[in-house]
Chain A
């Protein structure tokens, strides 16, 4: 009845399988990925309703894997057939008596000997089983239980690590909820009847941390390089935000005081245990919240021991254990990575070759590239400017090739610097000091060329290929801005449009530079045509691009105060002295902040009458205008305008060869380069902040970033990304609301506690793909609803936040375009939550998009407000409001096509009917309350109006019940309740099929419900309308499956590509199920 098709849930287990294969535990699945191609190789359900919390791979036979979750264990193997395709094969399910925290396979020198699996439970018990014993096929008798051989204690552990010292002895470190760590070992002897005998001793029990211990890691082989005395190390991490390293070399030490029965427990009662503590070698803080895991991760190039910790803050921090004197150590932080969104790294895997992988609550899997960790930036000034360093400084610069910049100096010199190699940059002097470049100069570049200007006098061009510098024109005023773009859009001929602005001038010069045939054998372009563009008052040019639409060329200029002006540049140059005015000006494109870059993307549209103008600004946004040439005039539509996850100083957008965009800018003290398509940061450099000269040349795995800091020039390059994402993640916190557009495009909108809204597309090939992230809310999202197909999305949250988003599908280059068209006038004005709302088109004119929406909002303070929003002038009007009692309202829906009559549901379990009083237009009053549930109604859905005018309202309650209420036009409500529909709150409802015959008076609905109990159920609801009230309603349970999504907050029905019906369940993750 229900079948899982796709899910994106927290990654709770990870392991490196072979060189190129990584396996993960995602919900009840184990999956294998190709680490290089990121392809999903195989997937298998290992447990029916339990998530996989641990995975180990047999190092000798890379294909043997043991997975566990809760108290369940299963061996699986990854097989590759001749066609090289992979598949998993599962062996019998086994169980033990308690939650398993860790497991390890005994290492054995020869491959034929028996391998033993040892596992530690949450009560510090040891469970041992031979691998052979796990490799049985499924048994009809059901899973057999493996009992512990070391019984354990009653104290609960949050973490444990088990490590084989030899083929018969394992060492265990366990961490308790109260900060204690116990180190113990067991010698096992195989009794050759499938059982083992064990002798256990405790080596250390001590109070290691001030809070719960969440991660422990043992090593018996590695030691800090400077001290061969230390042979065994323990790393621990905790709630108290520290990582600590302990010397546990002395395993002879046995704690004689095995916890006596009268020991006082609880916080702060550990004094007696201190003498059994190992020596703490070092401790350090770095994470801003709890630390979940710690690992030994090899040695740095200086041969110092590396430790890596992974936190609730989703960051991965690398430390080195530095000797600071004999037997004195420091933990020094060397690297911080944030590969996951929001919170929590739940799983970690390390490979022998030093690779690290992490799995997050966001569903992403990251593989870190330690080779890519950047060396400290190099300073260029000193070696290059040599003896005249004190007398001269680098001034303005730009890239003229992959690794070369053209640069002016304080003294007016022009140089080219080759940055190919980290340590040995080479400088090439192109000209000696030029007077008008002294003290003030500007540089703009394109591949192979640079243009230079300064105070009045010559404006120069440098052609790198010929290493020639020459003057292209002169200026009588000081140059304020210098910009360049290709005139020839194929970029094949060296035709450029150079834009020169002068200080204090109300016009700007546009020079056409084309190859000058006579004067040069090298085809070096020289100025041929010049036109003057008139600037609007206050228009200070900060960016520029040339566009071509329908054969027409235009120049587009961006200003320091957020304006964009477009000029036609095809008409014959007008009389000398008259400047050309703009065709149109767009205001406040980036609020009142500078437009930092412009980029024209004709997007290869065949008609060539439409193109997309991208802009970035210091308001932190990337905007796109669709520009259309219609009947000889330009039409512009803003189709996209979203904040980026860094900024507010966004400096540049560029189009890469693969047609994806890269945007760069700053976040506080860092430079950030961002891949728009992958929605991830590819390079981050600490440079001191935004206000400085800099240049960036992106490349495959990063790029070269050059910047000026305190008059010195620095360079940082990166040629590999610091981490790769094997699987991209979703929200960083739990999803609170979901809505799917009812168009063929089926855009999925999800809103989460991380305050973001994401737009997704789902298909069978790519699975769930997030195409946009909308960052505007300051609180968790409460509700989302689509209107006009996929043209409008509405969202609400806390602080009365309410936004109207205009969506444009098929924006070339980025897919879905999003503009926040308006926000509700009261957004951000109070701390009330808009719990839910309902949107209706108030006026529908045939063939046109509606211009007015009627929006009914329900509030956390038990009030209801009816608003009208006009798209034409983005105005809002409060039409009416009303009070319920004191309970928070949770749901809102109109029963008919208009908002009258209206229905709400609330935390007190009632559904309530409202009507707008005729005599008093601006208040609404409830007319009827009807109790359905005992407490909060958390989900609600209604059928279309039926032949007799009544509507069926289905509700899911916090009281575990499913309610079906029939509401007649006269306002009569009758309810049928299914009390124990789920074992916990029913938070999602959807229709997945209907077979209603209004006339004959009977109907049948298939309903899906989802609950916090992590079950998704299918119900058949039969209705006989002839019968009174709900007498003729009957409900049967027809399907019931587990979902790996915890904290389920809703579900939506959707069509699958093959025409089948599916549901999407959201909460901590997303789960797509097919309804059979």
Chain B
């Protein structure tokens, strides 16, 4: 796909380039923040699976530079046009919400941001970038050391002396196309992130992570509900409706009473959190009918948390985020008059098959014994 047609196909791709974000993912975090106010009172943050670093850029602009990166800062003319219409009183209700003046903010004190990824990441001022695998146990001491230089890596403690307010993880594997496997690998990344969060998050802290909303996602929701008071699954408008990607927003961390994060037996498919009785109750819903403010009748069909094969399933409430008037990631957009397609802020990292591509080019478009490799 040509650059320009990608601009049309994906408004967020274009906006990201225009506004200097390293990836369009920045908008996902901004839109999650719009709904969940993720950054209120937050100074210490861990950004997992951070490369190329657009989430870290958001953190940097908001926490370090004290900028307001609200919608006002990134919406463009089309949006302003809608707004003008609204002022003429012709837009329906939901377009009016959330248009209040952005809260003013200034640089915060004692900001600490640590970003981790497998891939090298271009530095960002004020942010500690680590190159490490979040599923590897050696990453825990690395992270603790980065958060707190006085941490003794030889000590056996794996709890942060100065815990953080927010742990983010946008990690995703290279999907294979074998859905069961992709969902499994993604859940392992989520577990690894949660494991790190359990070591560094302060009680009451927040955890936001990418999740694949596919088969058995309700098993994961039920597990997260054990350690967080609030568990909501959310889909930013900048994330395509056609993708299984969503974000789990967990608030109010409640470390389980006798839980100690452990290197030897980290959480994961192999080691799940035990539900206790009251939690079980919290997961059940009763049949009810509520008339919402907008007149829609919500019918909760009612369910017990389902125990199958010893697994507990629970469906977290869903909340779409990002204002309805913001761009639809699936829509085609007309490009503004005289549009010049920009280069991405950061070139994509070289794929592992780079050598293969070069080799193929050398051979004139085919590998080794060309006649067998093509055509058939």
Q: Which A residues form the contact surface with B (CB < 8 A)?
A: 10, 12, 48-51, 53, 69-71, 93, 95, 97-99, 122-123, 125, 142-143, 154-156, 158, 177-179, 209-212, 214, 238-242, 260-269, 284-286, 288, 290, 292, 312, 315, 317, 332-338, 343-344, 346, 361, 667-670, 684, 686, 831-833, 859-862, 885-888, 907-909, 929, 931-932, 934-936, 938, 958-961, 974-985, 1012-1014, 1030-1031, 1034-1037, 1046-1047, 1068
Contact = CB atoms under 8 A, between A and B. Distances in A.
B217 A1013 contact: yes
Interface of B: 5, 8-9, 78, 82, 92, 94, 117-120, 131-133, 135-139, 141, 153, 173-174, 176-181, 184-185, 188, 192, 213-218, 221, 235, 237, 241, 244, 263, 266, 268-271, 285, 294-301, 308-310, 313, 315, 317-320, 324-325, 327-328, 330-334, 351-356, 359-360, 367-369, 371-373, 375-376
A333 B368 contact: yes
Contacts of B308: 48
A980 B317 contact: yes
Nearest to A860: B332
Contacts of B296: 931-932, 975-977
A99 B184 contact: yes
Given A154-B135, A266-B118, 13 more contacts: A53-B181, A156-B185, A266-B133, A267-B118, A860-B332, A886-B82, A887-B331, A959-B320, A961-B318, A974-B295, A983-B218, A984-B244, A1014-B215
A959 B318 CA distance: 6
Given A240-B356, A261-B138, A908 B328 contact: yes
A1030 B353 contact: no
A1068 B359 CA distance: 33
21 contacts: A50-B180, A69-B180, A93-B309, A123-B270, A142-B309, A210-B355, A239-B174, A242-B356, A261-B141, A337-B376, A668-B375, A686-B375, A885-B325, A886-B328, A931-B296, A958-B320, A976-B297, A979-B318, A980-B300, A1047-B214, A1068-B179
A934 B352 contact: no
Contacts of B371: 669, 686
A983 B118 contact: no
A907 B173 contact: no
Nearest to A932: B296
Given A343-B177, A980-B317, A684 B376 contact: yes
A242 B352 CA distance: 11
A264 B241 contact: no
A98 B133 contact: no
B141 A262 contact: yes
Which 5 residue pairs across A and B have the least CB separation, nearest first? A211-B352, A1046-B179, A936-B241, A241-B356, A934-B320
B119 A936 contact: no
Contacts of B174: 212, 239
A943 to B, nearest CB: 18
Contacts of A178: 118, 133
Contact residues of A: prevailing secondary structure:
loop
B315 A1046 contact: no
B87 to A, nearest CB: 16
A143 B137 CA distance: 31
Contact of B131 (A51, A269, A859, A936): A269
B331 A977 contact: no
B136 A154 contact: yes
Nearest to B140: A261
Contacts of B309: 48, 93, 95, 142-143
B367 A285 contact: yes
Contacts of A48: 308-309
Contact of A1036 (B263, B294, B301): B301
Contacts of A831: 5, 8-9, 332
B237 A935 contact: yes
A935 B241 contact: yes
A243 to B, nearest CB: 11
Q: Which of the listed residues B136, B139, B185 has the most CB atoms from chain A within 10 Å of its own CB? A: B136
A599 B215 CA distance: 51
B270 A985 contact: no
Contacts of A51: 180
B241 A985 contact: yes
A931 B94 CA distance: 9
A212 B299 CA distance: 46
Contact of A907 (B118, B241, B313, B318): B241
A10 B215 CA distance: 16
A1046 B235 contact: no
Q: Which of the listed residues B94, B117, B178 has the most CB atoms from chain A within 10 Å of its own CB? A: B178
A587 B184 CA distance: 57
A264 B214 contact: no
Contacts of B177: 312, 343-344, 361
A240 B353 contact: yes
Contacts of A93: 309
Contact of A667 (B138, B295, B310, B375): B375
A583 B328 CA distance: 59
Given A861-B333, A935-B320, A336 B376 contact: yes
B301 A978 contact: yes
A95 B317 CA distance: 30
A337 B372 CA distance: 9
Given A211-B352, A669-B375, A984-B244, A284 B213 contact: no
Contacts of A332: 369
Contacts of B138: 260-265
A409 to B, nearest CB: 30
A122 B270 CA distance: 10
A53 B182 CA distance: 13
B331 A241 contact: no
B331 to A, nearest CB: 4
A51 B237 CA distance: 32
A767 B5 CA distance: 42
A142 B307 CA distance: 12
A51 B8 CA distance: 39
A318 B328 CA distance: 47
Given A333-B372, A337-B376, A338-B376, A154 B298 contact: no
Contacts of A832: 332
A122 B118 CA distance: 19
Contacts of A1012: 213-214, 244
Given A934-B319, A980-B315, A346 B178 contact: yes
